[in-house]
Structures are given as structure tokens and as C-alpha cells.
Amino acid sequence: MLVAKFPLPSGMKLLIDVIGWIGSVEVIAAYGLNSYQKIKSNSLLFQALNLTGGFFLIINTIYYHAYPSAFINVVWVIIASIAVVQLFRKGKKLK
């Protein structure tokens, strides 16, 4: 198990793990809901799940020094951020 190079208060590892699990669930939920046509890929909900899920996974993967995973999640968050901005410009609502 890798340990962060910077000291964290007691209990922070658990918080980082929980954040990582939440991010994983969010990204999988977005993919699953979209795959089964419960939400559309141009919906704010789909993009919000990807944005927050990716962000949470960035926190977790940087903590564990999993930089290739962190990189893909940074790209994931950038894509979702651009999509959210485009949705707001079009006046989309959360669906």
C-alpha cells in the first residue's frame, strides 16, 4: 500500500477512500444510466455525475500516486466541464 508523501490528519485516508468510492459509483452510474437510456448524454445529470465523479477520483488517485488514472480523470473532468458550460449556454435543465 502506498502512503502519501504529505502528512494527513488521522482519518483522512478513510475520507480519501470514501471520496474515491463515491466518484467510482458516480461515473459507473452515469455510464449505466446512459447505456440503458435512462438519461441522455446531453443531460446535465449525466455530465454532473461525470464531472463530480471524475473530480473525486482525481483526489483519490493523486493521494495513491496513481498518476495515469489521475491523468485520465483530469481529461474526463475537462470534457465534462466543457459539456456543462455548453448545456448552460443552451439553457438545459437537470433531467
For residues 57 and 49, give the distance between their C-alpha atoms in angstroms, rounded to a whole number: 12
Hey, what's the cell of 26? Answer: 458516480
Residue 1 lies in a domain: no
List pLDDT tens digits, range 23-79.
999 999 999 999 999 999 999 999 999 999 999 999 999 999 999 999 999 999 999
pLDDT in tens, 69-91: 999 999 999 999 999 999 999 88
- The secondary element (H helix, E strand) that includes residue 29 is helix 12-35
The answer to whether residue 41 is domain-embedded is: yes
What is the span of the domain harbouring residue 80? 12-90
Q: How many domains does the chain have?
A: 1
pTM score of the predicted model? 0.85
